[in-house]
């Protein structure tokens, strides 16, 4: 006797597979309105219209056939008959969400290409209608080349149709439709899915139509990456041009307050702590609040509109060439705020090697703690010149530093993938949400959070480190004719570090700042501010930190310092979180070593190149 034919129910997460499976078999599979409810296989029985029995297996939802996670691996193995103890299904029932057609068709197309007899359930047609989307199932059937049936699983609508179309297929002798050619890459697949989904639409509400039209442009293989570059470019221009007024006001305010309080205090160590430590040190960091908020304003708006996921999609191809999983995008994106949450977010990457690679390159994404360092040095050394309509040189340099970090990360991943962390790797599938106007409240809350995080850091770790540095830099006191930065304890430590970093063009002031900046990168700014303020006691007139820098560093040194900060693992929290997330000291040590080597090489190369151009 022939075994009972097996029909596999497959599709994207949350398409309604379990609901349809339950409706067809009378089983009670857990159904839930979020992806990932079904995580193992379940089997049930039903009868076809001709009275013959079939077995159905309800599979976990998946985004594709490349096994990047355990549940997707199960799905794939069942479908290609490679799952131990499971026979190859006789037919496939693909469930797609009608109102999310282009996302779901991506996987459906891969499944259809497997060549099994296939029926597509165009499910949740009720939801699609409610949202103003009218689809042509017959046209879809024609384009996909397999039967398409409209269903509403939760209302048991379309079940008879599904069973009769399955019955027809199973009654026919099995036709072998071999999948021809290599599997298309994710962008090509996405394009085909979108074309078919668009062709199947009879009418749709304006919001849906706009989303489609926008995606046609924003995800275009050539225009898409170009537009992404332009958006990022504008973002860094804005960091400088929009912040000019509030940042100057804040700076003037802190200086005035510092002077007023300084005049009120008697001369002595307390006055020095307040003026040189708090105002010249911590104050120098706090004035960068506007820049940080402008950067996050852009990021939050891009997230809220639904564009960020598209950016992930565009970056996916580039990232996969570097051997990074597409799932690495979100962790790497959060690393632009701070590598610590970024590294924690890598927990969503199932493949251990993918995850490790992502952790190891995350510190190369330019975190917001570098922003004060970058903007201070740029403002002091790069002229605020216009090099084109609306294009400022300072913003361009900042953009370049961010790009240098990204390219550094991609190259590092490429090398790591061939050496320390070879193996693994998988494709990327993600739901593309609808575009919407940015929600003011989301953006507001996000900005508020960023501002509090920044000010808290200033009030705690930056303050504490700066006070320690102030103490080390104040004692012992310099006699007449001596410079404070030469006789103090901090000065002596700086001397020791200086011997190591002098070849890459760093002066003694930078050397003194490197160690405290391990606590938090912004402390580099605070430390330099404090050291200069202590040294400047005898100098006439108040100067901004920017002016002090411009007077003391050569351009070559400034550029080398910037290059150093692109790569250097200047942050203890990042090292600590890497230790925790990789369960040991091996990988954090590896990370610190390779990043310091890179930083040293990059700073040195920058310095000597600049010197050879006569900028020393
Ligand atoms: N309105 C409507 N809701 C549906 C329909 N089919 C399923 N749902 C709902 O959609 C949600 C997801 O359904 P599930 O059956 O859990 O989806 P699934 O595909 O099994 O999801 P995973 O197991 O996570 O892969 C549930 O809230 C269902 O009640 C439908 O045709 N119309
Ligand atoms: Mg399910």
Residue of minimum CA distance from atom 9 in ligand 1: 16
- pLDDT confidence of residue 98: 93
Phi, then psi, of 391 in degrees rounded to 5: -110, 115
pLDDT band at 163; cut points 50, 70, 90: very high
Ligand 2 center–CA 351 separation, angstroms: 23
Distance separating alpha carbons of residues 112 and 105, to the nearest angstrom: 10
Ligand 1 center–CA 14 separation, angstroms: 5
pLDDT band at 588; cut points 50, 70, 90: very high
Q: Which residues have CB less than 5 Å away from ligand 2 (the ion)? A: 17-18, 37-38
Cis-peptide into 476, omega within 30 deg: yes
The structure tokens listed for 62 are 């998946």
Distance separating alpha carbons of residues 527 and 520, to the nearest angstrom: 11
Distance separating alpha carbons of residues 278 and 263, to the nearest angstrom: 15
pLDDT band at 36; cut points 50, 70, 90: very low
Query: Is 489 buried (19+), middle (13-18) or exposed (0-12) by CB count in 10 A?
Result: middle
pTM of the model: 0.70
- pLDDT confidence of residue 575: 94
> Closest ligand 1 atom, CA of 152?
31
Query: 100-136 as b/e, with b when 16 or more CB fall inside 10 Å?
Result: bbbbbbbbbbbbbbbebbbbbbbbbbbbbeeeebebe
Q: What is the mean pLDDT of residues 88-105?
A: 91
Select from 128, 171, 131, 130 the least CA-distant residue to 151: 128
The structure tokens listed for 541 are 């007139």
Ligand 1 center–CA 123 separation, angstroms: 9
Pocket of ligand 1 (CB under 6 A): 13-19, 31-33, 35-38, 60-61, 123-124, 126-127, 152-154
Pocket residue to mutate for ligand 1, from 9, 11, 16, 70, most atoms within 8 A of Cβ = 16
Q: Are 490 and 432 in contact (CB under 8 A)?
A: no
Ligand 1 center–CA 33 separation, angstroms: 6
pLDDT band at 541; cut points 50, 70, 90: low
* Residue 480: pLDDT over 80: no
In Å, the largest CA–CA distance within the chain is 106
The structure tokens listed for 69 are 């996670």
- pLDDT confidence of residue 542: 62
Ligand nearest to C-alpha 34: 1
Q: What is the mean pLDDT of residues 476-491?
A: 84
Query: Is 217 buried (19+), middle (13-18) or exposed (0-12) by CB count in 10 A?
Result: exposed
Give residue limits of the domains in the chain. Answer: 6-203, 223-421+441-613
- pLDDT confidence of residue 293: 92
- pLDDT confidence of residue 14: 83
- pLDDT confidence of residue 41: 63
Residue of minimum CA distance from atom 23 in ligand 1: 38
* Residue 399: pLDDT over 50: yes
Query: Is 425 buried (19+), middle (13-18) or exposed (0-12) by CB count in 10 A?
Result: middle
- pLDDT confidence of residue 33: 47
Q: What is the mean pLDDT of residues 587-609?
A: 96
* Residue 39: pLDDT over 60: no
Q: Are 346 and 328 in contact (CB under 8 A)?
A: yes
Please name the fold of domain 6-203: Rossmann fold (3.40.50)
- pLDDT confidence of residue 475: 85
> Is the Cα torsion angle 327, 329, 332, 336 positive or negative in sign?
negative
Instruction: Kindly give the residue spans of alpha helices, DSSP state H, lying in 438-544.
Output: 440-457, 463-474, 484-487, 489-501, 508-514, 523-535
Ligand 1 center–CA 75 separation, angstroms: 18
Pocket residue to mutate for ligand 1, from 21, 69, 71, 153, most atoms within 8 A of Cβ = 153
- pLDDT confidence of residue 37: 46
Distance separating alpha carbons of residues 598 and 600, to the nearest angstrom: 5
Beta-ladder partners of 6 = 55
Select from 64, 61, 47 the least CA-distant residue to 7: 47
CA 357 to chain CA centroid, nearest Å: 14
- pLDDT confidence of residue 188: 82
Helix, strand or coil for residue 39? Answer: coil
Distance separating alpha carbons of residues 494 and 480, to the nearest angstrom: 21
Distance separating alpha carbons of residues 344 and 326, to the nearest angstrom: 16
> Residue 598 is inside which H or E element, if any?
helix 586-612
Does residue 182 or residue 287 have the better pLDDT? 287
Ligand 2 center–CA 63 separation, angstroms: 13
Query: 497-521 as b/e, with b when 16 or more CB fall inside 10 Å?
Result: bbeebeebbbbbbbbbbbbbbbbbb
Q: Are 349 and 330 in contact (CB under 8 A)?
A: no
* Residue 578: pLDDT over 50: yes
Distance separating alpha carbons of residues 429 and 12, to the nearest angstrom: 10
Distance separating alpha carbons of residues 67 and 574, to the nearest angstrom: 30
* Residue 65: pLDDT over 50: yes
Distance separating alpha carbons of residues 511 and 505, to the nearest angstrom: 10
Q: What is the mean pLDDT of residues 350-354?
A: 83
Instruction: Kindly give the residue spans of alpha helices, DSSP state H, lying in 242-306.
Output: 244-264, 269-272, 283-286, 289-305
Q: Which residues contact 353 (CB under 8 A, 6 or more apart)?
A: 421, 422, 423, 424, 425
- pLDDT confidence of residue 26: 84
């Amino acid at each position: 006797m022939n075994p009972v034919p097996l029909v596999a129910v497959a599709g994207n997460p949350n398409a309604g597979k379990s609901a349809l499976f339950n409706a067809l078999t009378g089983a009670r599979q857990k159904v839930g309105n979020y992806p990932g409810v079904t995580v193992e296989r379940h089997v049930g029985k039903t009868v076809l219209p001709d009275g013959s029995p079939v077995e159905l297996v309800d599979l976990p939802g998946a985004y594709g056939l490349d096994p990047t996670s355990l549940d997707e691996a199960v799905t794939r193995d069942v479908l290609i008959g490679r799952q131990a103890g499971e026979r190859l299904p006789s037919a496939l029932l693909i469930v797609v969400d009608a109102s999310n057609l282009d996302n779901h068709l991506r996987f459906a197309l891969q499944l259809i290409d497997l060549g099994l007899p296939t029926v597509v359930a165009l499910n949740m047609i009720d939801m699609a209608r409610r949202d103003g989307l009218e689809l042509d199932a017959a046209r879809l059937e024609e384009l996909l080349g397999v039967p398409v049936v409209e269903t509403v699983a939760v209302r048991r609508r379309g079940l008879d149709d599904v069973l009769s179309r399955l019955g027809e297929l199973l009654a026919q002798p099995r036709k072998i439709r071999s999948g021809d050619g290599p599997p298309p890459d994710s962008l090509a697949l996405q394009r085909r899915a979108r074309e078919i989904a668009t062709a199947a639409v009879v009418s749709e509400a304006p919001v849906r139509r706009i989303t489609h039209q926008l995606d046609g442009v924003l995800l275009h293989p050539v225009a898409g990456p170009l537009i992404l570059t332009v958006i990022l470019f504008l973002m860094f221009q804005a960091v400088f041009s929009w912040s000019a007024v509030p940042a100057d006001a804040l700076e003037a305010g802190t200086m005035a307050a510092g002077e007023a309080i300084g005049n009120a205090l008697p001369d002595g160590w307390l006055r020095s702590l307040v003026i040189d430590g708090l105002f010249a040190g911590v104050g120098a960091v706090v004035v960068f609040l506007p820049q940080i908020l402008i950067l996050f304003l852009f990021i939050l708006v891009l997230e809220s509109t639904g564009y960020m996921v598209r950016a992930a999609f565009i970056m996916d191809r580039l990232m996969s060439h570097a051997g990074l999983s597409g799932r690495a995008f979100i962790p790497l994106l959060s690393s632009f705020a701070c590598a610590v949450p970024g590294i924690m977010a890598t927990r969503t990457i199932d493949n251990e090697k993918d995850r490790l690679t992502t952790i190891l390159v995350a510190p190369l994404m330019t975190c917001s703690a570098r922003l004060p360092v970058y903007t201070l040095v740029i403002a002091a050394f790069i002229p605020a010149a216009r090099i084109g309509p609306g294009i400022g040189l300072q913003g361009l340099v900042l953009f370049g530093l961010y790009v240098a970090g990204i390219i550094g990360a991609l190259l590092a991943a490429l090398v790591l993938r061939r050496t320390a962390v070879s193996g693994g790797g998988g494709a990327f599938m993600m739901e593309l949400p609808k575009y919407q106007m940015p929600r003011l409240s989301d953006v507001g809350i996000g900005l508020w959070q960023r501002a509090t995080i920044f000010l808290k850091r200033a009030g705690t770790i930056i303050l504490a480190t700066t006070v320690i540095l102030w103490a080390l830099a104040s004692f012992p006191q310099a006699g007449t004719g001596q410079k404070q930065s030469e006789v103090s304890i901090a000065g002596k430590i700086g001397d020791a570090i200086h011997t190591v970093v002098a070849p890459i063009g760093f002066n003694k002031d930078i050397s003194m700042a490197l160690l405290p900046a391990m606590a938090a990168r912004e402390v580099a700014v605070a430390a330099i501010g404090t050291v200069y303020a202590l040294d400047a006691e005898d100098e006439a007139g108040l100067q901004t930190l920017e002016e002090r820098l411009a007077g003391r560093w050569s351009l070559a040194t400034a550029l080398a310092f910037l290059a150093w900060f692109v790569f250097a693992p200047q942050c203890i929290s990042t090292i600590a979180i890497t230790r925790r997330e990789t369960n040991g000291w091996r990988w954090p040590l590896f990370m610190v070593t390779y990043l310091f080597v890179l930083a040293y090489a990059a700073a040195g190369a920058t310095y000597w190149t600049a010197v050879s151009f006569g900028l020393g």
